[in-house]
Structure 1
């Protein structure tokens, strides 16, 4: 089929290369001329496994091209809208990019084309856009994305569910079926646009609640002498709960959970539903940086204002260079605010947005041993497996007696203690 994608950000670019891989001739439109030039020359603009190879293949086989012109979409059967919907100060989603994209599509798409909204949008958005495009004979469906950063290509190739929200179908072969046919085989869930829009927010908010609950349990475990890993191992064995998103850490972040929980709460307020569980999850999440900084402050043998702290990991999760709403940056900011001299290392430092680090006053270095040299405290913030492979004997020699605050429970506690380092696990006896 002839497919269009609006937006060459994380969701848009991943979707575009995967659609082209499936043999659909795909045109991706983005307003950023520099980004379009890079992509057109085969340079991937996001850090995602397998994406560079798919980008090169799509360009080479002429199943994929990039442009700034909406006119290139005039002959498309389906166009996916994949633009950002960031949070406004009141928590609502900023829909200006979505509305601008749909306004352009109204002028170029032929009658019978389908616009599929992959952007995460509030309840009622798809229906509003459908009303806007109906006079042009253009259909609109909701098709939220469920792509995990660092696993996005695999998630597209092997979806656990394909969500289509539409009430514009009169039977088989309608707009919903047309959009569903573009994806790899998977479980298709058809529903109203309102249900699809809310389902995306509900899914992300539930994951946030699950992580925050685990972090609250971790704090309790440390105080009573239990081990959060044992507790969640038991919980995860229950098929009604499941083992995913039960790992203690420095909090949740990234491009989805913070803004989606805020938007869901905003929708709830509009309709008089408080959703206290989601609000509590956000409150717990915001408290994690203070909890971690407190653990550093009460364990090191020097005032925080005189302390040298090494932060290991800046991205919000391993396998990506994304630091948007990263809890690692929040923890670093809390330590810096308390007067600590902080140096950070991340395996993907070269690919991280330097402007965001400068704005957070974080000094990054490309050598973990330089970052940890002379440190009073070493705080492990991202679950990079490379941190387990570091020469910890060398680190202990360069930072004798340092406190290792392992927010991810990634390291070998016994080994570090044998080296003379003080180890604090997250939610463990003797930890924090």
Structure 2
């Protein structure tokens, strides 16, 4: 099948590449000429395991093409995915300018009957607004159908999620569109039927509801961790106790210093604002967001309790800047809040992350941050170590190395990955809910 994916951000690039891996002819379109030229040369703008190899291989096979020419792509496609960004506005609402602009451009350039599939995360009802734009602006006498196909990709394992989805949600208003998408996704679910068909509005809501539920589990466990600290209970034991209940499970119930990324924060706020537009106050979601924002300050509070509010004489080594392992994404990452607050209080920072140093520099610009090339170089001259992102290389500690390099044997573990046994070696270990 021939298809066009508009937008080469995280979702568009991964989705288009995976479709090409299955033998489809895929055009990935973007207005950023520099990005397109880099992609043609195998230079990937994001870090995602296995993605670079697949992009290069499928270009060689002539399955994957990158272009800024939308008309060229549409002339050879009849399935069009909209995968452009839907950033959060200052007031918390979802900015749909890119989506609506692309819809108008599709209408002005489409030359055959086509199916337009909304892959971008959009508020309930957006699909029908897009259909109206398509119908009002098309210059050729063609039939255009729409569908919603929300993505459920986890950064760090996005290729696996795309190639082996646990479900494929398809929102349509007609049988033909459903059958087209079922055929397209068939090779991804050949061993098990994982299609879930529904109306467009329900598909749009499904995406928000899924992320809001996962965010709720995280904030709930962080709330429990904070209560554990007050009462003397241990949240690690509590997690094991409740996770063994099959109705709850172990996923997304790890206490820590808050969630980040491009999805959970934005989608929770987006669903809150959608609710308010319909005169409904979403009390649980509002608290999920509030708990998460305050949770990012937990490590800062522990540092102040230990060292005082004036940190001008101290240097902190930081392990991990990305919002989660296996990505270079720092959008809404707890590291931004933690480091920014420490800088405000006069501290100096030495930081290391396997992949996210470049992206973090765009978010926090300070002469008081030194970036180093290895995890142990962070420790030289540091008064304490702060673990923010639980990359695998941080899980096993060389305590002799820490003892030699740290000025003070103090560790702030923002992800509860270390054993209390290191306290037997003279370290002070500060965790969350333990």
Q: Same-fold call, TM > 0.5? A: yes
For residues 95-138 of structure 1, the C-alpha deviation after alignment (integer angstroms, 9 at most, x for no partner) is 11111111111122234210100000011110111123246411
More moved, 130-139 vs 355-364: 355-364
Q: Could you list the per-position Cα deviations for residues 317-349 of structure 1 after superposition, in whole angstroms to 9, with x for gaps in the alignment?
A: 001111111112111112222222222111224
Tell me the SS of whatever aligns to 2:381.
Answer: coil
1:178 aligns with 2:175: no
Aligned to 2:302: 295
The count of residues paired between Structure 1 and Structure 2 equals: 423
User: Are 1:127 and 2:128 matched, yes or no?
Assistant: yes
Cα 1:286/1:369, change in 2 over 3 Å: same
Match of residue 17 from structure 1: 17
Would the alpha carbon gap of residues 261 and 350 (structure 1) be closer, same or farther in structure 2, given more than 3 Å must change?
closer
Name 2:147's counterpart in structure 1.
141
Deviation track 1:122-155 (CA, whole Å, cap 9, x = no partner) reads 1111011112324641111111100010110000
Paired position in structure 1 for 2:139: none
Unpaired runs of 5+ residues, structure 1, are none
Distance 1:102 1:215, change over 3 A: same
- In the TM superposition, 1:195-344 aligns within 5 A as 195-300=202-307, 303-344=310-351
Distance 2:2 2:350 in 1: 49
- The answer as to whether partners of 2:329 and 2:356 remain within 8 angstroms in 1 is no
Distance 1:93 1:125, change over 3 A: same
TM-score by length of 1: 0.94
Summarize the alignment of residues 84-163 of structure 1 with structure 2, pairs less than 5 Å apart. 84-134=85-135, 136-163=142-169
Which position in structure 2 is the counterpart of 1:165?
A: 171
Instruction: Determine if the alignment matches structure 1 residue 33 to structure 2 residue 33.
Output: yes
How far did residue 350 of structure 1 move? 5.1
Aligned CA distance change for structure 1 residues 165 and 248 (closer, same or farther; 3 Å): same
Residue by residue, what CA displacement relative to the aligned partner does 1:78-98 show, whole Å, maximum 9, x if unpaired?
111110000011111111111
Compute the RMSD of aligned alpha carbons.
1.8
Counterpart Cα distance in 2 of 1:290 and 1:387? 22
- By how many angstroms is 1:303 displaced? 4.4
| Contact 2:119 2:149 (8 Å CA) reproduced | yes
Distance 1:351 1:304 in 2: 26
Distance 1:258 1:202 in 2: 13
How far apart are 1:53 and its partner, in Å?
Answer: 1.4
- Contact residue 329 and residue 360 of structure 1 kept, 8 A: no
How many Å apart are 1:288 and its aligned residue? 1.5
Provide the rounded CA distance (Å) in 1 between the counterparts of 2:322 and 2:378: 16
Shift of residue 14, structure 1, vs aligned partner: 0.3
Deviation larger for 85-94 or 184-193: 184-193
Q: 2: distance between equivalents of 1:177 and 1:330? A: 46
Verify the 8 A CA contact 1:308 1:340 in the aligned structure 2: yes
Task: Please give the per-residue CA displacement for 1:19-69, whole angstroms capped at 9, x wherever unaligned.
Answer: 000111000001110110011112222101111111111111000010000
The alignment partner of 2:349 has SS state of: strand
Q: TM-score, normalised by structure 2?
A: 0.93
CA contact (8 A) 1:313 1:380 kept: yes
Q: Which has the higher mean CA deviation after the structures are superposed, 206-215 or 219-228? A: 219-228
Deviation at 1:15, TM superposition (A): 0.6
- Aligned equivalents of 1:9, 1:400: Cα separation in 2: 42
Cα distance in structure 1, aligned partners of 2:217 and 2:130: 33
Contact 1:311 1:345 (8 Å CA) reproduced: yes
Distance 2:283 2:157 in 1: 31
CA distance in 2, matches of 1:305, 1:375: 13
Secondary structure at 1:153's aligned position in 2? helix
Preserved contact between residue 400 and residue 421 of structure 1 (Cα < 8 Å):
no
How many Å apart are 1:312 and its aligned residue? 1.1
| CA pair 353-306 structure 1, distance change in 2 beyond 3 A | closer
Q: Is the 8 A contact 2:357 2:371 kept in 1?
A: no
Match of 2:3 in 1: 3
Q: Which runs of 5+ in 2 are unaligned?
A: 137-141
1:360 deviates by: 10
Alignment map for 1:399-418 (pairs within 5 Å): 399-414=406-421, 416-418=422-424
